[in-house]
Amino acid sequence: TRAFSPSLLQDARLGYGRVSFATLQQNVGVNGNQQLGFPVISADSSTWGYPTVNVAGFDTIGEAAPTPMDVQADTVHLSELMTCIPGGGRHSFQFGAEALFIRSQQRASAIARGSWTFAGPDSLSQLLRGIPNSALAGRGDASNDLRRRAVHTFIQDDWRATLGLTLNLGLRYEY
């Protein structure tokens, strides 16, 4: 904040934030599909672990489907505000601008180890015989690199019309 005079003030701000985290499956590097006799879906050992197995009438076994997951998000925020209070103090003019830049990078492997469902009338027998009702597998690169830019400008007049009435008038543009 800077005061050029008692009636002219400037407020400039800069902010930066980062969020970064990774979530791995419990048995990363263990080729659970091969151990259980299921087809190996990925050659990338960072996605290995045990597949999700759904057997009707029983709890689901296996590892969380959206792992491994790696997320990093960076945010930069800039703002500038000028306040002018002309003589007499009945008006208070403000104008300013702000800019927001966001970058989010994510890698998530959806169903990287597969999901097997045994849902017939004798689902346990189907499991033992290796005959699923459905099987899902995710392949390919599920990474993304998202970017967003936002710019806002405004002008505002706080006009004290009477001692008990103040009007707030303004315009704002957002892009």
| pLDDT block averages, 10 residues each, the chain of length 175 | 91 97 90 89 87 92 85 97 89 96 90 89 90 87 91 96 93 94
Query: What are the angstrom distances between the C-alpha of 132 and each of 18, 116, 118, 119, 129?
Result: 43, 6, 5, 8, 9
pLDDT at 68: 87
Per-residue pLDDT, 38: 86
pLDDT score of 154: 97
2-5, strands of its sheet edge to edge: 2-5, 8-23, 69-84, 91-108, 143-162, 165-174
Taking the CA atoms of 56, 129, 68 and 27 in sequence, report the sign of the dihedral they define: positive
User: How high is the pLDDT of residue 112?
Assistant: 84
pLDDT at 64: 80
3-class state of residue 35 by DSSP: helix
